[in-house]
Amino acid sequence: MMALRGSLTFICARLPLFYGFRRQIGLLMLLLHTVNMVGAQIRYSIPEEMKKGSVIGNVAQDLGLDLKRLRSGRARIVTGENIHYTELKTDKGILVVNERIDREELCGDETPCSFSFEVILESPMELHRVTVEVLDINDHAPSFPNRDKHIKLEISESAAIGVQFPLQSAEDLDVGQNALQDYILSPNDNFILKQHANPDGSKYVEMVLQKPLDRELHPHMSLKLIAVDGGTPQRSGTVNIDVTVLDANDNAPIFNQSVYKASVMENTMKGTIIISVNATDADSGSNGHITYSLSKTKGSAANVFSVDEITGIVSVSGQIDYEKDRKYEVRVEAKDQGGLTGTSKIIFDVVDVNDNAPVINIMSFSSPVSEDALPGTTIAILNIKDLDSEKNGQIKCSIDVKLPFKIESSLTNYYNLISDQHFDRESVSEYNITITATDMGSPSLSSSTKLHLKISDVNDNAPLFNKNSYSAYITENNSPGATIFAVSARDSDWNQNARVSYLLEETQVSGSPVSTYVSLNSETGVLSALRSFDYEQIKQLQVVVKAQDGGSPPLSSNVTVKILIQDQNDNPPQVLYPVQTGGSLVAEMVPRSADVGYLVTKVVAVDVDSGQNAWLSYKLQKATDRALFEVGLQNGEIRTIRQVTDKDAVKQRLSVIVEDNGQPSRSATVIVNVVVADSFPEVLSEFTDFTQDKEYNDNLTFYLVLALAVVSFLFITCLVVIISVKIYRWRQSRIMCHSNLPVIPYYPPRYSDTLGTGTLQHVYNYEVCRTTDSRKSDCKFGGAGSQNVLIMDPSSTGTMQRIQSEKSILDEPDSPLEVS
């Protein structure tokens, strides 16, 4: 119960009421209403029977609220069984009477009489209790149960003075001063009234004989019993009493107890025996024959219990409901045949049975609730009542302990459902909450209600990719616009907060923006190529994709996509050696004394592709004599496969094809000219044929003449050179070895394979050794690396032997020509 914050006093004046036909008395009524502010109680007092629309009080003023707050908070009256009696005018902030209020119908004889209801406001949520006390006015006159029937009494003339005769009690529905106050008996010589009070404050009367009766003088007597209340004007009710004087029966029945007490369980079945009363009469005969009956009392006890006329057994005849009446009082009468009556009282205490389950009413319920709502947020306000009493009416409210909610009590019979934890819509998007109310009775009764709570989304989750980085592959020479890869991010939020769009972060690739290489579809996350890629120029590029949701503010995350360009076999092998020139021909010279496996030369080729596309293989396509030479499949080395003989042709022409391992494979063809001879003069006559082979389809006659001229020139030149060399060597024979002019081979520069073709590097050294004593030592050629290269210029008239050092050709400082 909240503390009392303020009080106001209202004074209302009732319209004049008439008593009789002459006097009009104005009744001034003092109404006190107490206002409890800020979630407490407001109490008003009003008289009953006010007209519809009469103002009860200014709720807005008493609560300290302005009219805008009442309208914006959707102020309304909730709960209460008597809500129809009042109406809240939110436009004026006043509480008015909605229906005629009859205090007797509302509360019966309970005082004070009041009814309560709650005024609820939303946004923010407020709850205020209003209690309206209904004050009684004297609108009911006392009335006897059977006022149309006379009270008939048969009294023996021998009745002793002081004998009491119970009379019917009058009922007045008003309470307090307006209730029944007094009984008046019409003037007579024989009887007076004696009034008694019941424990509940009601009165009953007995007519007492104060003077003996004389049946001969007055066999019948007619009296009037008048019941008056204390209201202004005073109201009254009358019943006629017919007294029949009988012959002598001077002993009235007497009960063995003046008060009987019994307990009865509510909902006891009809016909159940509760108690037995007993009265005796000292008279004999018919005057001593007793019959029992229950006299009419205030309330409905006479309809609930009955007594057997003969045996005096009291049993249940109606419905017993503890919630309506917790105690019954009845008067039992024992009457003999002579008309004498004895009375006693029976008090029934009703024992409560737990026959009412709690009733749950949902006053307010907020759904959906934002997932960022703090713990302690009020979700719903519940009103739970149990009509039973004591433990049977004590309520325990509970929910599933696994749910992130708890129940707290606020005002009497009010409970708040509040959040106990932070919500996460991505984990649980909705809750089915079962609220169970259980009383403390034995056995306990319970009732439950279900609430379906939805959690609204907040943008608290950034889009997430399945991986931290992706690798995508695309084959070179692709078409612009080709799809490379599709990224996908998932956002566990909902609706707009989960709508993901993709953006390409601006980075540099080889000094150019990445957006010039690829494009990104913002809706689907598909990466597409904007140009055709060349593996030999760019082997990979790295892009950063950002996934951004549609929340406010938006959240995002990045992922790296590594695009690897896959090689295609789009480059044929390139032959580095022997060099194919259009102006001169290169021939390899093989001595006739060459053994099997003699290294003639090596075809050197590369492929700028990578992987299998760069794996090269060498094959002998055509040859003058296939039985003489072979080509190494992997290394391209041309070697003899048998001993060279004098029968072998001097000029040998080999066609070697170099193939890569791509699909489909690409190839290149190189022509290798080989001269089988021990010295240059032996091959002079054959040189002309090289030119014929070179351009055989041209004018044949022209080439024959030209070849003859070249051969002649070469022959003369060779003779001069040979003679000059021999003279020179003869002169130097004392300090140098004498030998034929060495032929220095031409090799291409070392080729470093960065693409994994497997081509080997070679260093060729020549060693010429001679002893100081020998003047005619033969030259020794070191290793398999010695090469003889004959270079012919078909445009000249003689033969020229070109001597090139390895240092100038191969650019290798560690491979000089050494002579010892």
SS3 611: helix
Which residues, at least 6 apart from 557, have a Cβ–Cβ distance to it below 8 Å?
462, 463, 464, 465, 489, 546, 547
pLDDT attached to residue 684: 60
Summarised one tens digit per residue, pLDDT across range 641-668 is 988 888 888 888 889 999 988 888 889 9
The answer to whether the beta carbons of residues 62 and 37 sit under 8 Å apart is yes
Please report whether residue 275 resides in a domain. Answer: yes
Average pLDDT, rounded, for the chain: 78
Measured between alpha carbons, how far is 292 from 248 in angstroms, rounded to an integer?
Answer: 21
Average pLDDT over residues 66-85: 79
SS3 457: coil
Measured between alpha carbons, how far is 109 from 91 in angstroms, rounded to an integer?
Answer: 36
Measured between alpha carbons, how far is 198 from 205 in angstroms, rounded to an integer?
Answer: 11
SS3 279: strand
How does strand 6-13 pair with strand 305-307? unpaired
Q: What is the Cα 305 distance to its own chain's centre?
A: 62
What is the three-state SS of 558-626?
Answer: EEEEEEEEECCCCCCCEEEECCCCCCCEEEEEECCCCCCCCEEEECEEECCCCHHHHCCEEEEEEECCC
Instruction: Categorize the per-residue pLDDT at 297 as very low, low, confident or very high, splitting at 50, 70 and 90.
Output: low
Same domain for 421 and 483, yes or no, is no
Same domain for 339 and 261, yes or no, is yes
- Cα-Cα-Cα-Cα dihedral of 718, 722, 725, 729, to 10°? 160
Same domain for 426 and 373, yes or no, is yes
What is the spatial order of strands in the sheet that 540-549 belongs to? Answer: 469-475, 556-566, 540-549, 500-504
pLDDT attached to residue 388: 86
Return the structure tokens found at 340. 């004498």
Average pLDDT over residues 232-244: 88
Which residues, at least 6 apart from 176, have a Cβ–Cβ distance to it below 8 Å?
111, 136
Phi-psi region of 440 (alpha: psi -120 to 50; beta: other; left: phi over 0): alpha
Look up the domain containing 623 and give its range: 574-686
Q: Verify cis geometry, omega within 30 degrees of 0, for the bond prior to 664.
A: yes
pLDDT attached to residue 151: 86
Among the listed residues 482, 520, 477, the one whose alpha carbon sits nearest the alpha carbon of residue 501: 520
pLDDT attached to residue 811: 37
Among the listed residues 391, 325, 318, the one whose alpha carbon sits nearest the alpha carbon of residue 356: 391
Same domain for 94 and 190, yes or no, is no
pTM for the model: 0.46
Domain finish residue from 213, 246, 279? 246
The answer to whether the beta carbons of residues 127 and 410 sit under 8 Å apart is yes
The answer to whether the beta carbons of residues 295 and 343 sit under 8 Å apart is yes
Residue 58 has pLDDT above 80, yes or no: yes
Residue 107 has pLDDT above 50, yes or no: yes
The answer to whether the beta carbons of residues 114 and 154 sit under 8 Å apart is no
Q: What is the CATH number of the domain that holds 668?
A: 2.60.40.60
pLDDT attached to residue 18: 28
Q: What are the φ/ψ torsions at residue 325 (nearest 5 degrees)?
A: -135, 125
pLDDT attached to residue 528: 93
Phi-psi region of 201 (alpha: psi -120 to 50; beta: other; left: phi over 0): left
pLDDT higher at 20 or 185: 185
pLDDT attached to residue 688: 52
Instruction: Categorize the per-residue pLDDT at 502 as very low, low, confident or very high, splitting at 50, 70 and 90.
Output: very high
Please report whether residue 746 resides in a domain. Answer: no
pLDDT attached to residue 273: 92
Same domain for 423 and 369, yes or no, is yes
Over pLDDT 70: what percentage of the chain?
Answer: 79
What is the spatial order of strands in the sheet that 651-659 belongs to? Answer: 617-623, 651-659, 667-676, 585-590, 789-792
SS3 21: coil
The answer to whether the beta carbons of residues 512 and 489 sit under 8 Å apart is no
Instruction: Categorize the per-residue pLDDT at 39 as very low, low, confident or very high, splitting at 50, 70 and 90.
Output: low
Summarised one tens digit per residue, pLDDT across range 586-636 is 778 888 888 888 998 999 999 888 888 888 999 988 888 888 899 999 898
The number of domains in the chain is: 6
Average pLDDT over residues 243-254: 81
Average pLDDT over residues 152-157: 84
Q: Picking from 264-268, 296-300, 541-545, 557-561, which range would have the lowest pLDDT averaged per residue?
A: 296-300
pLDDT attached to residue 748: 43
The answer to whether the beta carbons of residues 425 and 497 sit under 8 Å apart is no
Instruction: Categorize the per-residue pLDDT at 26 as very low, low, confident or very high, splitting at 50, 70 and 90.
Output: very low
Same domain for 120 and 223, yes or no, is no
Please report whether residue 779 resides in a domain. Answer: no
Q: Verify cis geometry, omega within 30 degrees of 0, for the bond prior to 578.
A: yes
Same domain for 442 and 483, yes or no, is no
Measured between alpha carbons, how far is 121 from 70 in angstroms, rounded to an integer?
Answer: 7
Query: Which of 706-743 are b and which e, b meaning 16 or more Cβ less than 10 Å from the residue's Cβ?
Result: bbebbbebbbebbeebbeeeeeeeeeeeeeebbbebbb
Same domain for 484 and 544, yes or no, is yes
pLDDT attached to residue 115: 83
pLDDT attached to residue 47: 92
Residue 337 identity:
Q
pLDDT attached to residue 323: 84
The answer to whether the beta carbons of residues 377 and 418 sit under 8 Å apart is yes
Average pLDDT over residues 358-364: 92
Vertex 354: Cα angle to 348 and 359 (nearest 5): 125
Q: Picking from 19-33, 272-286, 496-510, which range would have the lowest pLDDT averaged per residue?
A: 19-33
Measured between alpha carbons, how far is 688 from 794 in angstroms, rounded to an integer?
Answer: 8
Same domain for 173 and 221, yes or no, is yes
Instruction: Categorize the per-residue pLDDT at 336 as very low, low, confident or very high, splitting at 50, 70 and 90.
Output: confident
The answer to whether the beta carbons of residues 209 and 165 sit under 8 Å apart is yes
Residue 719 has pLDDT above 60, yes or no: yes
Same domain for 445 and 470, yes or no, is no
Summarised one tens digit per residue, pLDDT across range 420-447 is 999 988 889 899 999 999 998 888 899 9
The answer to whether the beta carbons of residues 404 and 417 sit under 8 Å apart is no
Same domain for 469 and 506, yes or no, is yes
Cα within 13 Å of Cα(656), Cβ side:
32
Please report whether residue 396 resides in a domain. Answer: yes
Please report whether residue 739 resides in a domain. Answer: no
Q: What are the φ/ψ torsions at residue 429 (nearest 5 degrees)?
A: -95, -15
Dihedral angle sign, alpha carbons of residues 593, 597, 599, 601: positive
pLDDT attached to residue 383: 92
Beta-carbon neighbour count of residue 633 at 10 Å?
12
Among the listed residues 657, 587, 653, 589, the one whose alpha carbon sits nearest the alpha carbon of residue 624: 653
What DSSP element (H or E) covers 510? Answer: none
Residue 22 has pLDDT above 70, yes or no: no
Measured between alpha carbons, how far is 99 from 456 in angstroms, rounded to an integer?
Answer: 43
Same domain for 619 and 539, yes or no, is no
Measured between alpha carbons, how far is 91 from 74 in angstroms, rounded to an integer?
Answer: 11
pLDDT higher at 639 or 586: 639
Domain finish residue from 351, 367, 385? 351
Summarised one tens digit per residue, pLDDT across range 460-492 is 888 999 988 999 999 888 899 899 999 999 988
Residue 289 has pLDDT above 50, yes or no: yes
Residue 279 has pLDDT above 90, yes or no: yes
Q: Picking from 10-14, 175-179, 244-248, which range would have the lowest pLDDT averaged per residue?
A: 10-14
Q: Where are the alpha helices (DSSP H) in 642-695?
A: 681-694
Please report whether residue 316 resides in a domain. Answer: yes
Domain finish residue from 547, 566, 585? 566
The residues with which 88 forms a beta bridge, in sequence order, are 95
pLDDT higher at 638 or 111: 638
The answer to whether the beta carbons of residues 12 and 46 sit under 8 Å apart is yes
Residue 453 has pLDDT above 90, yes or no: yes
pLDDT higher at 40 or 279: 279
pLDDT attached to residue 286: 78
Q: What are the φ/ψ torsions at residue 806 (nearest 5 degrees)?
A: -65, -25
Phi-psi region of 162 (alpha: psi -120 to 50; beta: other; left: phi over 0): left
Measured between alpha carbons, how far is 570 from 662 in angstroms, rounded to an integer?
Answer: 9
SS3 414: strand
Q: How far is CA 549 from CA 127, 376, 499, 544, 677, in A?
A: 41, 30, 5, 17, 82
The answer to whether the beta carbons of residues 453 and 435 sit under 8 Å apart is no
Average pLDDT over residues 541-566: 91
SS3 693: helix
Summarised one tens digit per residue, pLDDT across range 727-750 is 888 887 755 444 444 443 434 443
Please report whether residue 310 resides in a domain. Answer: yes
Q: Picking from 158-167, 409-418, 668-677, 729-738, which range would have the lowest pLDDT averaged per residue?
A: 729-738
Please report whether residue 815 resides in a domain. Answer: no
Return the structure tokens found at 226. 């008048």
